[in-house]
């Protein structure tokens, strides 16, 4: 007897660099804005950050290169801290005892599954889907090219 397996629907992140990276994410759920971290990814590895169908169109990512320094950041400011965290709200980060960190925006186009690819400067990565329903986005390290604020940016 054959049974149908459920469709995979996740937010994944792939570290396509030669170093270890730390990842924090931000998104809006039914209760408001939330940021979570840290996922530690080895060089040339992928990890699922959120499991299940994506509930928002926009997600926000911040990454730091532990081995060589540098970061992947943007203009959407959210709260983080040095240790593992889940933080509700994006306002008054410093007053609440958190760090204020710039995240870059990922527009999933309302897809149920999305994979973010972190690459090193100068690498060329295709922007076409890996497979149907699994788009890919390439982001450069911060300081080289920063995404501009877009609609849905919580930092406004």
On whether residue 3 sits in a domain, the answer given is no
On whether residue 156 sits in a domain, the answer given is no
Does residue 150 register a pLDDT over 70? Answer: no
Model pTM greater than 0.85? no
On whether residue 120 sits in a domain, the answer given is yes
| Domains contained in the chain, number | 1
Does residue 154 register a pLDDT over 50? Answer: no
Looking at the chain, the whole-number percentage of residues with pLDDT higher than 70 is 72
On whether residue 151 sits in a domain, the answer given is no
Q: Give the residue with greater pLDDT, 120 vs 62.
A: 62
On whether residue 98 sits in a domain, the answer given is yes
Give the domain extent around 31: 10-139
Report residue 6 as tokens: 């459920």
């Amino acid at each position: 007897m054959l049974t149908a397996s459920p469709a995979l629907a996740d937010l994944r992140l792939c570290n396509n660099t030669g170093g270890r990276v730390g990842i924090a994410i931000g998104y809006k759920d039914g209760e408001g804005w939330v940021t979570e971290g840290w996922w530690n990814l080895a060089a040339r590895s992928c990890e699922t950050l959120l499991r299940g169908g994506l509930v928002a169109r926009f997600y926000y990512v911040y990454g730091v290169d532990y081995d060589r320094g540098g970061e992947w950041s943007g203009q959407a400011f959210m709260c983080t801290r040095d240790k593992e965290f889940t933080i509700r709200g994006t306002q008054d980060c410093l007053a609440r005892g958190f760090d204020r960190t710039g995240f870059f925006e990922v527009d999933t186009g309302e897809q149920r599954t999305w994979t973010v690819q972190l690459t090193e400067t100068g690498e060329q990565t295709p922007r076409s889907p890996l497979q149907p329903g699994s788009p890919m986005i390439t982001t450069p390290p911060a300081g080289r090219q920063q995404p501009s604020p877009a609609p849905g940016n919580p930092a406004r």
